[in-house]
Amino acid sequence: MNTSRFFLAGILWMSLLAPGALPQATDNQAALVKQSSIIFAGTVSQVAATSFAGVPKSAQTIVVRVDSVLKKPVAVSLKKGDNVTVEVKDPAAFQEGTQATFYAEGWIFGSGVAVKELGHEIVLSGGTPGAAGTGEKTFGQLQQEISDQDLQRRIATADYVVVGRITDVHQWIIPKSAAARYRTSEHSANWHEAVLQIQSILKGPKIKRSKMIVRFPQSRDVAWVNAPKFEKEQQGIFILKRDQVSGDATASLGGYTVDAYTCLKPGDWLPMIDEARVRSLLKK
Amino acid sequence: MVASAFTPNPISSAGNAPVYVSEDAGNTWILSAITPVQRMTCDITHAMSTGENHPRGDLHAGTLACAASITLDESESDDVSSGAVMNVQSTRTNVDQPFVRALAFSNTDHIYVGVNDLGQSSGRTATVDVSLDGGATYKSHSIESRKTMGQDGPSVRPAVAPDNTVYAAFFGWRKFNGSVATSDVVVVRDDAGATGSQAFQALKDPSDKLPGRLVVKRVSIPWSNAPTLGQERIGSTLSIAVDPNNSSAVYLGWADRGRKGDIYTLHVRRSTDRGVTWSKSDLPHTTISNATNIALAVANNGVAGFLYQQLAGGRWVTHMMQSRDGFATIQDVILASVPADTPVQQFLPYLGDYDYLLAVGNEFRGVFCANNTPDRANFPQGVTYQRTADFNTKTLTDGSDNPVAISIDPFYFSVPVMP
């Protein structure tokens, strides 16, 4: 089964309903794709039913036989022929035999998978999934678009986007005035400071000195493990925000007091290979 | 039954963090995304008490969500099988290690949540949040009456007896140099379910007449938020349990730096007079070196259960010990013995900052985490996996027979209470 064909069928259905609103429909599609952790096409086999023990049965739960899987996390076992329980928003929209593409988020995971519907697209009877116009975007294109949209959003909310190299990393000496805020817990961030030598500023006002302080959590506690960690000589693109997390918005750099910045989310640091992509998105 | 670990939502990064739910006495489990935290909790404990009006029991949970700040949610579900997200009843930031116990009353549950309330400006941070109305309202009680080095240790553990006696244990940190805390191990008690205005002051220490019995004074507790005991961090191992039919009998376990060359040693002591006096030294068979994750419970017949995990010979060995005579004689069962060097740590904690044990009828039930290699030799009492695994090739697989890397999984167990 060609998975992308089912997705194209969904887009075709939307365009038939609202031909003049296709750009918006595509945006909605992208939003749905982004929100959804599981997307699959399937055929309703039972209504007001569930597919495995432990899932509460209600008028809103239906069982769908999977025809193809478009998106799923690696950790989830889901393949053609599996039965999935879907808690739908509008049970009246489904009856046995209804074919649809389901956009969903996870709900219950056991001997099977149960999901909650975020959206769906009915495949019209007699519709040919592959008949969508060649101008429609493929699932892969949409995924790339979403990835670009995420990056663009991060760039838009950043105070600085900088190409640079880390010249020093040291533990942040917490000022005595702020020490009371830094009590000990397993979730303590263990703040460190990276001195960032700026090579070019892609976004943000000019800086008097060519260096910035990037404050980052060195802790590998579950609360911080996914935040980027920095090492001396590390180079790349840094998407920075003024520090509103550590509790002190300033840092000391070469005897001067300067603003401190953070770079906390995965993807807030990118390797140099992404420079052209970032520059391109900044122009949009 | 409900169990939890640091299990992320396997399906959705935007969805709720899950708990494990079993409706057939632990034979099968589902992972249900009902906590009020997105994707994965930074800490979670829960309790389920049964009462006349809700024989299935309401689930009460204390969870930490870690984003820019750490947020405690105290939440409730009156039917975990519904799959509905838990109702948040109280929330605040800057706390650590919520540890929940609950006691059912005819109409409402009494809920006791031990937390290290780092927002306490006095530095007396050991706190018990008490709800006497099923979680509708909470009142925070600082249970530290002495000067600290600026805070107490992270673990604050309540224990509740059906006669309304409530104990709580905590580490009173007197000095801290960043890697070692000089700590008292303190027990407080309330004889009326903490319903009065002066809660947890029933037990005073003879040395200073202040509330809180100093069971041991000024022990050295290593604090390391880095792999130290094998790949695990250490510093907050503490447990307390009360006999449900004799609230005068109470057991206390903790870990500190033992002898030279040892990293972390468990100790268990007992009081038979409501915490007024304690055994002068560790109970027999309960001084365990290089071990962590102690969990104590007492069954209806007075048998004490002692769950712990010891690093021995390059393996994490999970023991379930029982005794009817204060550990003078014991039954010691190894639940798991797994390689300690695999998988490589991805985040901390490695196994967990604590595991869990409770007595239900004539069973001790509990949860611990371990390497999930499907190797029957690792589980001497036998094991059943809820995930697909090939015990012949010792390989985990996905639903399509593709191999899956070894990781850390939670394991549920039930052991009959000694007669």
Assembly ipTM: 0.92
pLDDT digits (tens, 9 = 90+) for B18-33: 999 998 989 999 999 9
Residues of B with Cβ-Cβ distance to A52 under 8 angstroms: 30
A207 and A260 together in one domain:
yes
Which whole number is the average pLDDT over B289-295?
Answer: 97
A256 and A121 together in one domain:
no
Query: What residue numbers bound the domain in which A102 lies?
Result: 3-146
| Selection from B242, B330, B239 nearest residue B286 by Cα | B330
B276 and B387 together in one domain:
yes
A7 and A142 together in one domain:
yes
B56 and B132 together in one domain:
no
- Total structural domains within chain B: 2
pLDDT digits (tens, 9 = 90+) for B144-184: 999 999 999 999 999 999 999 999 999 999 999 999 999 99
Please answer yes or no on whether B30 and A54 come within 8 Å at the CB atom.
Answer: yes
If one counts every other C-beta atom within 10 angstroms of the C-beta of residue B273, the result is 10
Residues of A with Cβ-Cβ distance to B176 under 8 angstroms: 184
What is the CATH classification number for the domain harbouring B182? 2.120.10
Buried b / exposed e over A203-242, threshold 16 CB at 10 Å, is eeeeeeeebbbbbbbbbbbbbbeebbbbeeebebbbbbbe
A137 and A22 together in one domain:
yes
Amino acid A11: pLDDT: 28
Please list the helix, strand and coil fractions of chain A in percent, rounded to the nearest 5, in that order.
25, 35, 40
Distance from CA of B328 to the nearest CA of A (A): 35
Based on its alpha-carbon atoms, the radius of gyration of chain A, rounded to whole angstroms, reads 24
Query: What residue numbers bound the domain in which B118 lies?
Result: 102-416
Of residues B397 and B173, more confidently modeled: B173
The pTM of this model reads 0.89
A41 and A72 together in one domain:
yes
pLDDT digits (tens, 9 = 90+) for B62-89: 999 987 778 999 999 988 988 899 999 9
Amino acid A81: pLDDT: 94
Cα first-last separation, chain B: 24
A142 and A25 together in one domain:
yes
Contact of B380 with chain A, judged by CB distance below 8 Å, is answered with no
Residues of A with Cβ-Cβ distance to B349 under 8 angstroms: 186, 222
Please answer yes or no on whether B236 and A38 come within 8 Å at the CB atom.
Answer: no
**Residue finishing a domain among B93, B110, B143:** B93
B88 and B183 together in one domain:
no
Task: Using a pLDDT cut of 70, give the percent of chain B over it.
Answer: 98
Contact of B38 with chain A, judged by CB distance below 8 Å, is answered with no
Q: What angle do CA B160, B162, B163 make, to 5 degrees?
A: 105
Q: Are B369 and B355 in contact (CB under 8 A)?
A: yes
Please answer yes or no on whether A106 and B15 come within 8 Å at the CB atom.
Answer: yes
Q: Which sign, positive or negative, has the C-alpha torsion A63, A66, A72, A77?
A: positive
Contact of A263 with chain B, judged by CB distance below 8 Å, is answered with no
Closest CB to A222 among B12, B235, B347: B347
- Closest residue in A to B9 (Cα–Cα): A106
Distance from CA of B203 to the nearest CA of A (A): 28
Distance from CA of A278 to the nearest CA of B (A): 25
- Closest residue in B to A57 (Cα–Cα): B82
Confidence of residue A142 (pLDDT cuts 50, 70, 90): low
Amino acid A1: pLDDT: 32
Q: Which sign, positive or negative, has the C-alpha torsion B390, B391, B392, B395?
A: positive
- Closest residue in A to B176 (Cα–Cα): A184
B209 and B245 together in one domain:
yes
A12 and A135 together in one domain:
yes
Contact of B75 with chain A, judged by CB distance below 8 Å, is answered with no
Mean pLDDT of chain A: 83
**Residue located via tokens 């489990």:** B29
A68 and A166 together in one domain:
no
Amino acid A128: pLDDT: 40
